[in-house]
Amino acid sequence: MRFALPLALALLALPAFAFAQAKPAAATSNKPILVTALTLTPAEIRLNRARDYCQVVVTGKVGDQTVDLTDRAQFRTASAGVVKIENGRVTPLANGKSSLMVTVAGVQQKANITVTGVGQPDPVSFRYETLPILTKQGCANGSCHGSPHGKGGFSLSLFGYDPDIDRVSLTHDGFNRRVNVMDPAESLLLKKPQLQVPHVGGKRLHKSDFALPILQGWIQEGAKTSVPSNKCTSITIFPDSARVLKSPFLQQQVRVTAHFSDGTERDVTAISTFETSHPNVATVDPNGRVTGKNRGQAGISVRYLHFLESIYFTVIEDVPGFQWRAVAATNFIDQHVNDKLKQLQYLPSGLCSDETFLRRVSLDLTGLLPSSAKVRAFLKDTDKSKRDKLVVELLSTEEYARFWALKKADLMRVSPTHLTNGRAEKFSKWLVDATRSNMPYDQFARTILTAFGDTQQVAPANYFLAIPTSEERTEMTAQVFLGSRLECAKCHNHPFEAWTMKDYYSLSAVFARTQTNKAGLVSLAKTGDVQHPTSHEVLTAWGSTPEQSANPDLDRRAAFAAWLTKPGNPYFARVEVNRIWSELFGRGIVDPVDDFRSSNPPANVPLLDALAKDFEEHGYDRKRTIRMVCASSAYQRTMETNAFNANEDVLFSHAKIRLLTAEQMKDAIGYSTHSMGSTDGLSKLASDLSAKLASRVSEYNKSGGEPGMEKFDPEIKRLTTDLARVENRMDYATQRPYPEKSVFNAAFGQPVRETACTCERRSAPTLMQALELLNGETVHKMALSSADKYAGLTDEQAVEELYLSALSRFPTTREQSTATSYLKKETDRAKALADLVWTLVNTREFLFQH
């Protein structure tokens, strides 16, 4: 470590250094470069209105890299006076034709220009210009006037989702001082953001801003808010695919085009809003110019009206001394992970030891620690494929089925609070059965989403019983199966995504006819529609055609489920493989796992696509995906980092250390203290109890007990309860059908199953956890009870057994001697053993999965 530290420091300083070097290179744009192909976007320039403009993007090939050359290009027009060109933006001066000549490094390209409409009126559009500008200047942000209560008495709809609110707010409220048609310059809309009068939100509009004349013009023309007949149908972005930025080509001009229902299109680059997901990697200016800053990946999202699109950028820097060392690739997963690491110049860590692998994969697949016997056997095994065999073995266990069903049950609110009279157990059992039999995931989704009937008989129908309103069903279904947080779109268009209120209520319409009653019956009604809350349009259910949606005899859910599970669905397979990935790596490729949106880019796009494709092509086989991931080198890496991946934590170049979950923690303490028996003994325990119960029942009948009243016999009652407890594995937090409410579980962030958000599970360390571990009754009692279990062993044996049980490894010589001498020193051996157990479960190595 002594030598590693300065090296790590040097690396920390590296990105800034590299950037400092890159900058002058970018500035000296006349340094000779060899451009092999030059294209202009758009290839032909048509300006049809007096205030039209066109952002030209110049793209070329340098070597094998496609690069943006807009800032290096020289622009000329064939005839003067038709257009003006500034930073690649062409604006009209007079009607006529001309052509644009662009030269970069001696290579030339030409585009025809046609200008019409100059001299004709071109009024500012409230919807298509004024509102996007209010968003762009930040006025309609969630933290400013777009917040639910507005700011300073002035309230706008968030990012202009409701033009009507904005119309009233701008032209009627505030005593008409916000826009002053008689004296536009006196309008608060202009004075406040320019700080001509004080403005809490600071300066938001500058003299040089493109937006200023448009706003002025809009007011001058009478602040008209009429609804245009022409609808904006989509936006397109150039560049339309991911780009790599590498010094000296660290810039990229973005161009945004809006398409309208009458077939026209308009350049809206200057009034679109740009945001970056990772400002330290790439920034973007208000004109849509992206600049790479440091090594990494960033998404640039572009918003115009309610449209939101993102483009992904990878910024590459050469890391001095970096040399890619081929790492064994087990399957396509490793190829994609390694490609990305190689591209960004991170060196993956090596493979972990057998001990670590056994502990890691056992906790991941079953939630439980391996027994000491299992550790011994696995370490002794010399089979080269023992790791793969272990994964297969673990996937066939009951523990796997229960632990992985628990993850789904967490999201689907399986708790006796929502599902009473044994329904929680039944739904949970169904989920366990489906996991055990490895039900194809498309079938799993369809079965749940189209279930109806008596929830005591049809277990999956409990999905609907647990969430009785169609709004909640919308949010839950979106979160579970689309990996998207739609709840924002209930009241306004999603702030970071293209989800609109219309999407929300169309999905709501899917569930509008699914009814539940007090008797727990889920049934389908013939009527029931959902209106858009602001436009009052009756919405077609998602996945249905308007005819299907209107047909009272069709189950709208079936159409939705068919859409969802059709191969090629952009969400379904990706969301599920990403969840699996996240369970195994402690971080999703898209993270958080239920926040899929274009502005939250995947860490590795080809990897996610490949996993999803494989999942689709192999019958949505979850066990297959788990098996492949566990077999990959990516999964089997150590947590130790090297000089070339120390600060990397999203591309899976090393294992991520995670605090055990509440359930894992509880059972791990139980297992390593031996206060909980292994699940191996459960089937025998259950059959013993059943036998006892059967014999007691026959005894009861023989002794003339009243038929049908057995359940009131105290002994039968007790045995029945005990049997249910064993069968439902109620003593195992990782295996129970629903969570146990306890101080310990709450402290460790176990979700209470109130929402479908994985964020309900908390994983950050807290003071309450420290108190529970150091001084809690749960840990203390389990530690005390362990003394008996170790009593028959010698000190050395006890220490070894304890290390194998708690840490899945043998103690080192030093640990063995420290621990043994503690045991020998103390007169009360039971107490000393309890102390030692307490100590081991409080080590970081125990508390964290690594």
Partner 1 sequence: MRTRTGALRLRWSCHRVLKPVVRSAGVPARTGGTSSSYILLLISRTQIRKFEFKIAPYTTHPSPTSGYNCNMKTHLLSRRSFLGIGLGSGLAALTGSQANAMLPRGGRAKRVLVIFEQGGVSHMDTWDPKPDAPLEHRSPFKPIRTNVPGMQFTELLTKTARVADKLTVVRCMTQPTPGIGNSHPKGSQYIFSGEAPGGPVDMPDISSIVAHRMGTDALYLPSNVLVPGTDEQAEMSRVGFLPPGYTAFKSGGSPADPNWKVPNLGLLADVDERRFKDRHDLLSALDVGFVNSGGKDVEAMQSLFAQASDMLTNPGTRRAFDLDTESPAMRERYGTGHRGQCYLLARKLIESGVRYVTVDVREPMHSYNHGGSVTYSGGSNMNWDHHDAIYSPKHTNIPNGGAGAGRFGIQTWPMMGSTDQAFSTLIEDLDQRGLLEDTLVCFVTEFGRTPKINDRQGRDHWTFAFSFAFAGAGVPGGQVVGSTDRDGGYINSPMAYTIEDYAATIYEKLGIDRSKSLQTPTSRPIYIAAKGKPIQELF
Show contacts with partner 1 in window 171-210 (CB under 8 A).
173-175, 177, 188, 197-200
Selected from 63, 81, 153, 228, the binder of partner 1 by CB under 8 A is 153
Quick count: other Cβ atoms within 10 Å of Cβ 326? 7
Dihedral sign of CA atoms 638, 642, 644, 646 in order: positive
Which residues, numbered 684-743, are part of the site for partner 1 (CB under 8 A)?
743
C-alpha span between 638 and 348 (Å, rounded): 9
C-alpha span between 77 and 116 (Å, rounded): 17
Which residues, numbered 577-616, are part of the site for partner 1 (CB under 8 A)?
592, 595
> What is the closest distance, in whole angstroms, from the C-beta atom of residue 614 to partner 1 in the complex?
30
Q: In what order do the strands lie in the sheet with 282-284?
A: 251-253, 289-292, 282-284
> What is the closest distance, in whole angstroms, from the C-beta atom of residue 462 to partner 1 in the complex?
25
Q: What are the angstrom distances between the C-alpha of 705 and each of 247, 420, 696, 712, 714?
A: 89, 31, 11, 10, 12
Which residues, numbered 87-116, are part of the site for partner 1 (CB under 8 A)?
none
> What is the closest distance, in whole angstroms, from the C-beta atom of residue 3 to partner 1 in the complex?
13
**Please, which residues have CB within 8 angstroms of residue 785's CB and are 6 or more apart in sequence?**
673, 674, 675
Q: Which residue has the tokens 């960033």?
A: 298
Selected from 95, 147, 230, 287, the binder of partner 1 by CB under 8 A is 147
Which residues, numbered 640-669, are part of the site for partner 1 (CB under 8 A)?
640-641, 649, 656-659
For residue 268, the 8-state DSSP code is -
> What is the closest distance, in whole angstroms, from the C-beta atom of residue 489 to partner 1 in the complex?
11
Interaction mask 753-792, partner 1, x per CB under 8 A: ----x-x--xxxxxxxxxxxxxxxx--x------------
> What is the closest distance, in whole angstroms, from the C-beta atom of residue 543 to partner 1 in the complex?
25
The residue among 383 and 640 lying less far from partner 1, judged by its C-beta, is: 640
Which residues, numbered 794-813, are part of the site for partner 1 (CB under 8 A)?
807
Interaction mask 621-640, partner 1, x per CB under 8 A: ------------------xx
Question: How far does CA 428 lie from the centroid of its chain?
Answer: 25
The single-letter code of the amino acid at 396 is S
Selected from 14, 458, 746, 793, the binder of partner 1 by CB under 8 A is 746
C-alpha span between 566 and 442 (Å, rounded): 8
Selected from 142, 546, 570, 677, the binder of partner 1 by CB under 8 A is 142
> What is the closest distance, in whole angstroms, from the C-beta atom of residue 831 to partner 1 in the complex?
8
The residue among 142 and 677 lying less far from partner 1, judged by its C-beta, is: 142
The residue among 231 and 781 lying less far from partner 1, judged by its C-beta, is: 781
C-alpha span between 419 and 455 (Å, rounded): 9
Dihedral sign of CA atoms 363, 368, 373, 377 in order: negative
For residue 151, the 8-state DSSP code is B
> What is the closest distance, in whole angstroms, from the C-beta atom of residue 1 to partner 1 in the complex?
5
Structural contact between residues 580 and 395, judged by C-beta atoms closer than 8 angstroms? no
C-alpha span between 846 and 240 (Å, rounded): 48
Pull the structure tokens for residue 74.
């020289």
Selected from 54, 611, 747, 833, the binder of partner 1 by CB under 8 A is 747
> What is the closest distance, in whole angstroms, from the C-beta atom of residue 582 to partner 1 in the complex?
15
3-class SS string, 169-231: HHHCCHHHCCCCCCCHHHCHHHHCCCCCCCCCCCCCCCCCCCHHHHHHHHHHCCCCCCCCCCC
> What is the closest distance, in whole angstroms, from the C-beta atom of residue 132 to partner 1 in the complex?
21
For residue 530, the 8-state DSSP code is -
3-class SS string, 714-774: HHHHHHHHHHHHHHCCCCCCCCCCCCCCCHHHHHCCCCCCCCCCHHHCCCCCCHHHHHHHH
Total chain residues near partner 1 (CB under 8 A):
77
Window contacting partner 1 (CB under 8 A); options: 123-131, 143-151, 296-304, 733-741: 143-151
Window contacting partner 1 (CB under 8 A); options: 250-258, 298-306, 430-438, 484-492: 484-492
The residue among 336 and 658 lying less far from partner 1, judged by its C-beta, is: 658
The residue among 486 and 689 lying less far from partner 1, judged by its C-beta, is: 486
The residue among 324 and 848 lying less far from partner 1, judged by its C-beta, is: 848
> Helix axis angle, 372-380 relative to 354-366, nearest 10°?
130
> What is the closest distance, in whole angstroms, from the C-beta atom of residue 396 to partner 1 in the complex?
31
Window contacting partner 1 (CB under 8 A); options: 10-18, 23-31, 381-389, 480-488: 480-488
The residue among 257 and 484 lying less far from partner 1, judged by its C-beta, is: 484
The residue among 155 and 625 lying less far from partner 1, judged by its C-beta, is: 155
Structural contact between residues 342 and 332, judged by C-beta atoms closer than 8 angstroms? no
Which residues, numbered 224-283, are part of the site for partner 1 (CB under 8 A)?
none
Which residues, numbered 44-63, are part of the site for partner 1 (CB under 8 A)?
none
Closest CA to 742 of 787, 777, 767: 777
> What is the closest distance, in whole angstroms, from the C-beta atom of residue 154 to partner 1 in the complex?
9
The residue among 267 and 772 lying less far from partner 1, judged by its C-beta, is: 772
> What is the closest distance, in whole angstroms, from the C-beta atom of residue 143 to partner 1 in the complex?
5
For residue 692, the 8-state DSSP code is H
Which residues, numbered 290-329, are part of the site for partner 1 (CB under 8 A)?
none
How does 165-203 read in b/e, with b if 16+ C-beta sit within 10 Å?
bbbebbbeebeeebbbeeebeebbbbbbbbeeeebebee
> What is the closest distance, in whole angstroms, from the C-beta atom of residue 795 to partner 1 in the complex?
14
C-beta pairs of 169-173 under 8 Å, 24+ apart in sequence? 170/223, 170/225, 171/223, 171/225
The residue among 155 and 338 lying less far from partner 1, judged by its C-beta, is: 155
The residue among 617 and 828 lying less far from partner 1, judged by its C-beta, is: 828
Which residues, numbered 359-398, are part of the site for partner 1 (CB under 8 A)?
none
Cα R_g (the chain), whole angstroms? 32
Three-state DSSP at 67 gives: strand
Which residues, numbered 487-546, are part of the site for partner 1 (CB under 8 A)?
487-488, 490-491, 495-496
The residue among 796 and 815 lying less far from partner 1, judged by its C-beta, is: 815
Which residues, numbered 818-847, are part of the site for partner 1 (CB under 8 A)?
818-819, 822, 831, 835-836, 838-840, 842-845, 847
How does 783-822 read in b/e, with b if 16+ C-beta sit within 10 Å?
bbbbbebbeeeebeebbbbbbbbbbbbbbeeebbeebbeb
C-alpha span between 467 and 463 (Å, rounded): 7
The residue among 490 and 623 lying less far from partner 1, judged by its C-beta, is: 490
